[in-house]
Structure 1
Amino acid sequence: MNVAVPNMQSEARPEARRPIRQLDAAAANRIAAGEVVERPASAIKELVENALDAGARRIAVAYADGGKTLIRVSDDGHGIPAEELPLALSRHATSKIDGTDLTNIRSFGFRGEALPSLGAVGRLTVTSRAAGAAEAASISVRGEEQGATRPAALAKGTVVELAGLFTATPARLKFLRSDRAEAQAIGEILRRLAMAAPGVGFTLSDVTDQGSPREILRLDPEPGELFDGLPARLRAILGPDFAENALAVEAEREGIALGGFAALPTFSRGAAVAQHLFVNGRPVRDKLLLGALRAAYSDVLARDRHPAAALFLTCEPEAVDVNVHPAKAEVRFRDPGLVRGLVIGALKQMLAGAGHRGSTTTGAGMLGAFRPESGEYAKAYSPPAAAPRNYAYAYSPPPRPSARALGFAEEMQAPSARVEPEPEEEAPESHPLGAARAQFHETYVIAQTPDGIVIVDQHAAHERLVYERLKAARQGARVPGQMLLIPEVVELDAGQEAAVLEAREALDGLGLVVEPFGRGALCLRETPAILGEVDGGALLRDVADALIEGAGDGLGQRIDAVLSRMSCHGSIRAGRRMTAAEMNALLREMEATPLSGQCNHGRPTWVELRLADIERLFGRRG
């Protein structure tokens, strides 16, 4: 069926040329306002930034119907003199810059567009009392009509009230989301601004029901300078879990300083909702910084997980351009490579310093899983008989181990409910991960610590250890390879074959030597010696998949992905029976290896249960 598609350009083209003319002020203001005021949250952002520039110590925000019918921002800043109120509502009128130098911007606002833009799309009233003034003054604007300045009652600061947002442009109202969604956006933007100013108190209220307004958020001012009050402010906004699982970040290079906090990889999120970035105190959503944050965690997080962080970049105003977009959410750096390297290097150093530490939320999650959902659990539970369990153990042959990959002894022992370690001069419980006491389901190691137990996923933990060994070997000379007695011919599809052959030289440096063997096949001659005896075909296919998956990444990232796949093949498998010496050796190496608190995919390698929590499970403590 033929469908006629109208040519919108030809239909809109006038028959005769129209003369060029100047748009009137009202139309120009409405067009310009569309760039600054996209939704109620952006209006509140502009007003709160003005309050911060005015030196406010307390800022109160109120809204009704998600900000569609009413927005009110009150502050205790230095205020606006009565004679300057009409000028404040004029476009491109500001007290923050004099226009001679647009590179030395040290304030949130500098365009002089916020108030006139709000007046162009709604009913705006500004009431202010300047410091030292005898009385306050108020002025209103309704689209094109600006009222006269008149006396008003106000003790200090400024109150800006916007009623009927987008009443002057009704079409914009159709693009707003529900009241609840707009309210959530308001809360998010206010929290970001509150992180940038810990010394300022904030309140957020929903006054949709005038008879019973609801306080949504209250943040009291935190004492001290930015980084003195920042931990308490982040705890109040991002929650105690973030505070307990975040590490301090501090670095400086060539006049650019980075500070703030970033969470452990095991405290990751399913979306990038907990990534807060600031440049000279300004909240931004900069692609360069977001990409650097992602790259720093690429070695410890799966692609579908996102790190949590609040990072503050400080530099001279001349080193960054904030005049990129009217919303001021994007910036451009004079030396982007320097900034990216600083962020990635500082975060990687922070993660390496965390060692084997894991997120505290993993233990809490385990406790939640242990708690029965109802009282019927105790009645339904009956312990399994010992004979069938022992019978299953006796007839469960272990998989063939690889001593070279493990770095441990080759001998194995039958599984036991309790494994006592060899006597040592130093009490093993004094180590951070304790002393191995048992292995259950031939997958998990249980270790005893002075105040609880640690449960280790043996495969995930050893996978990280092998990965770190491979990376360390790559930093030196060529990774030692083990020549196969009989070369293995591996069949691959065209894409896999091309990816491996393209990276052949790099793979040779990793101890993985391949040669072409006809169409759709490669001959595998060497594998990395550190992996021990492995399935060459499965290894090569996994390496090919890693190369294809990271086709858009740099060579270094692709090689790291290959090493990650290799380490999986050289790790202790679930079902591998381990001796007490092997289990303790695994724990000690975890303590000495950076990033061992999570596997290559960001999952925790161990969880801890405190003795007090275990006793609560059994009702021994209140």
Structure 2
Amino acid sequence: MPIRVLPPELINQIAAGEVIERPASVVKELVENSIDAGARRIEVDIEQGGTRLIRVRDDGGGIPRDELPLAVASHATSKIGSFDDLERVASMGFRGEALASVSSVARFALTSRHGDDEAAWRIEVDGGRLQETRPAQHPRGTTIEVRDLFYNVPARRKFLRAERTEFAHIDDLLKSLALAREGIDIRLTHNGKPVRLLKPARDENAALARVAEVLGPDFPGQSLRVEHEAAGLRLSGWVGLPTASRAQADQQYFYVNGRLVRDRVVAHAVRQAYSDVLFHGRHPVFVLFLQIDPAGVDVNVHPAKSEVRFREQRLIHDFLFRTLHEALAQTRAGIAVANSGEMPPPMTPSFGDLTAPGAPSTVAVPAWPSSASQPRLSLGVRDEPLAGYATLFGSASIAPRALPMPLNTDDGADAVPPLGYAIAQLKQIYVLAENEHGLVLVDMHAAHERITYEKLKNGRVTANLRSQMLLVPLSIAVSAKEAAAAEEHADALADWGLELSRSGPSGVVVRRIPSLLEGADVAQLTRDVLGELAQHGSSRRLEELENELLSTMACHGSVRAGRRLGLPEMNALLREMEATERSGQCNHGRPTWVQLSLGELDKLFLRGR
């Protein structure tokens, strides 16, 4: 066939194939345009799941009469005018092909009144054929109607799902947009019936209420507020507690400069931050907003603008990981009680220099004092380290601290620690304690397992980690990119006890491994580590494998269910839980404690009714 220029209608239909996948895709483009127009109220009317009608009405700035034909022209936009603008895109839409693509596969009408104009104007497009502009009645703002989607592309229409499924996609889309634009009133109707009304949020409590409307009413009480700023980056939002995880990753919302995106760097950083507290196969819940200089992120890498590319991927990865890792570390048992109220205060940990990923961070934690005159109380864990641990890290005591005395406040009353004081042991499995709010139930094995695990990890960090020379160096074939990563990060790997050297364009030689990982699959371990280094610039695979072994050691070294404890031992366990990072969950992600308030207990016994 000879080379020829495609007709405009076919060009737009090809573009529609990339941008318009289903009715929800149309809603996304139209609502984002309304957001860019400065709308404070957006109404979305849907009929038959969007196949029959999609109507989006806003109170934004509107479009002048002479620009209406350009609004539906290919690659015509008011949002960028030069390559410099493209480098710093701050708007939701900018390609200038959305309305042209939509109008080429549907019966399209646009009515708009710009600013203080005396009249509104309407333009219609039927299958790509533009009609004359004519006057109309309309308040300030814009209304776009899309009827009979894919009526002229029957092959595309056959791929649409059932009406309920298509509408569910639209509903999910609007909820995701509402999370990032809490100041906009968003209303949704389907077949003439109101379905969702998201009122604008004027303060942080109202913003959290909107989050609860999207993620469920239990989310506020099962989440942590995150807010941190460093290295020109700002992260804010809410992360769910490990105990509020889900079987699927359907409640994960991450926004970059207000744009909902899916990104591998972000997913990897979040997964690593939760790796030490989340049950295998579970997925965390979060709503996070990253603010970054627009020049530091490329949003022009996907037709639907659902993916981005960070210019400093390693910086983004380390910032996200360390912020979330430190926030989750503060999930000590009792913290939710201490931070009582509808919304917990923001978790704002302090960090070391982001340019030094290995630098330790510091978090100030109030500690309940212990009495030096009281004897040390042991929960069956020997003062000497577990077998095999001393040979790697030297001696370290992991016995719990002594029982603290109550604090006397200024008014003479005794201050009660967050987990209170033990009153009994149930079936030699659970510790029952009384605090200011009511009854506390503690799984003593799960709690002590986390305490022991954190002590073992701290001992590994502070001690001299030993490595073991392989009797015969192991040659491994890897990709050229992975071999380059081995050469670049050789010193960092040696600090973890893994000594590698590059043996050619696509090969490495392993000479030494951490003693703690003796018996591991060295070849697979090396490939995993180099694969992460090549892709993300950092790897925690060695640390994760060592943590798995330390977790097993902690499980075997912790007090077992079935052992009778005295009140001093139970109280010592409670004090250790309050002082230990991540003590709200055991090493496997299970909760270690539960709070039953007096109100909840009263309901059980119908008191006050």
Query: Does the pair score TM above 0.5?
Result: yes
Q: How far 1:232 moved relative to its partner?
A: 3.6
Matched with 1:176 is 160
Change (3 A) 1:229 1:408: closer
Q: Distance in 2 between matches of 1:324 and 1:508?
A: 37
Q: Distance in 2 between matches of 1:506 and 1:431?
A: 43
Q: How far 1:310 moved relative to its partner?
A: 0.8
Other structure's SS at 1:578 match: coil
Q: Residue by residue, what CA displacement relative to the aligned partner does 1:174-232 show, whole Å, maximum 9, x if unpaired? A: 2222211111111111111111111111001102xxxxx221110111225xx686334
Q: Residue by residue, what CA displacement relative to the aligned partner does 1:457-510 show, whole Å, maximum 9, x if unpaired? A: 111111111111011111111479xxxxxxxxxxxxxxxxxxxxxxxx999989
- On the 8 A contact 2:334/2:418 being kept in 1, the answer is no
Matched with 1:260 is 237
- On the 8 A contact 1:138/1:150 being kept in 2, the answer is yes
Aligned residue identity for 1:84 = E
Is the counterpart of residue 577 in structure 1 residue 564 in structure 2? Answer: yes
Q: How far 1:306 moved relative to its partner?
A: 1.2
- On the 8 A contact 1:59/1:202 being kept in 2, the answer is yes
Matched with 1:164 is 148
TM-score, normalised with respect to structure 2: 0.76
Is the counterpart of residue 444 in structure 1 residue 417 in structure 2? Answer: no
Is the counterpart of residue 463 in structure 1 residue 463 in structure 2? Answer: no
- On the 8 A contact 1:54/1:78 being kept in 2, the answer is yes
Is the counterpart of residue 593 in structure 1 residue 574 in structure 2? Answer: no
Residue ranges of structure 1 left out of the alignment (5+ in a row): 1-17, 208-212, 361-399, 410-420, 481-504, 511-526, 529-538
Change (3 A) 1:618 1:549: farther
Q: Distance in 2 between matches of 1:60 and 1:187?
A: 13
Q: Distance in 1 between matches of 2:216 and 2:31?
A: 23
Change (3 A) 1:91 1:424: closer
Matched with 2:246 is 269
Matched with 2:187 is 203
Change (3 A) 1:424 1:20: closer
Q: Residue by residue, what CA displacement relative to the aligned partner does 1:421-452 show, whole Å, maximum 9, x if unpaired? A: 99978698811111111111211111111331
- On the 8 A contact 2:75/2:95 being kept in 1, the answer is yes
Q: How far 1:87 moved relative to its partner?
A: 0.9
State percent identity of aligned pairs: 47
Is the counterpart of residue 245 in structure 1 residue 222 in structure 2? Answer: yes
Aligned residue identity for 1:558 = L
Matched with 1:612 is 599
Superposition map of 1:179-190 within 5 A? 179-190=163-174
Other structure's SS at 2:591 match: coil
Matched with 1:523 is none
CA RMSD, Structure 1 to Structure 2 (Å) = 3.1
Q: Distance in 1 between matches of 2:206 and 2:435?
A: 35
- On the 8 A contact 1:284/1:330 being kept in 2, the answer is yes
Match of 2:199 among 200, 220, 227: 220
Q: Residue by residue, what CA displacement relative to the aligned partner does 1:547-566 show, whole Å, maximum 9, x if unpaired? A: 98995762122222222222
Other structure's SS at 1:277 match: strand
Q: Distance in 2 between matches of 1:401 and 1:85?
A: 78
Matched with 1:336 is 313
Is the counterpart of residue 37 in structure 1 residue 20 in structure 2? Answer: yes
- On the 8 A contact 1:75/1:158 being kept in 2, the answer is yes
Q: How far 1:359 moved relative to its partner?
A: 7.2
Is the counterpart of residue 564 in structure 1 residue 513 in structure 2? Answer: no
More deviation, 560-569/342-351: 560-569
TM-score, normalised with respect to structure 1: 0.75
Match of 2:79 among 96, 100, 107: 96
Change (3 A) 1:345 1:507: closer
Q: Distance in 1 between matches of 2:422 and 2:496?
A: 38
- On the 8 A contact 1:267/1:359 being kept in 2, the answer is no
Change (3 A) 1:137 1:272: same
- On the 8 A contact 1:29/1:116 being kept in 2, the answer is yes
Q: Distance in 1 between matches of 2:258 and 2:310?
A: 15
Match of 2:399 among 400, 407, 422: 407
Other structure's SS at 1:107 match: coil
Other structure's SS at 1:240 match: coil
Is the counterpart of residue 23 in structure 1 residue 6 in structure 2? Answer: yes
Matched with 1:352 is 329
Aligned length: 499
Matched with 1:116 is 100
Q: Residue by residue, what CA displacement relative to the aligned partner does 1:148-189 show, whole Å, maximum 9, x if unpaired? A: 111111112000110111112111122222211111111111
Superposition map of 1:36-75 within 5 A? 36-75=19-58
Q: Distance in 1 between matches of 2:109 and 2:319?
A: 45
Match of 1:435 among 405, 409, 421: 421
Matched with 1:453 is 439
Match of 1:475 among 461, 464, 471: 461
Other structure's SS at 1:59 match: strand
- On the 8 A contact 1:264/1:359 being kept in 2, the answer is no
Q: Residue by residue, what CA displacement relative to the aligned partner does 1:354-412 show, whole Å, maximum 9, x if unpaired? A: 3224779xxxxxxxxxxxxxxxxxxxxxxxxxxxxxxxxxxxxxxx9544477269xxx
Is the counterpart of residue 294 in structure 1 residue 271 in structure 2? Answer: yes
Change (3 A) 1:600 1:359: farther
Other structure's SS at 1:160 match: strand
Other structure's SS at 1:91 match: coil
Superposition map of 1:521-540 within 5 A? none
Aligned residue identity for 2:5 = Q
Other structure's SS at 2:111 match: strand
Matched with 1:82 is 65
- On the 8 A contact 1:428/1:434 being kept in 2, the answer is no
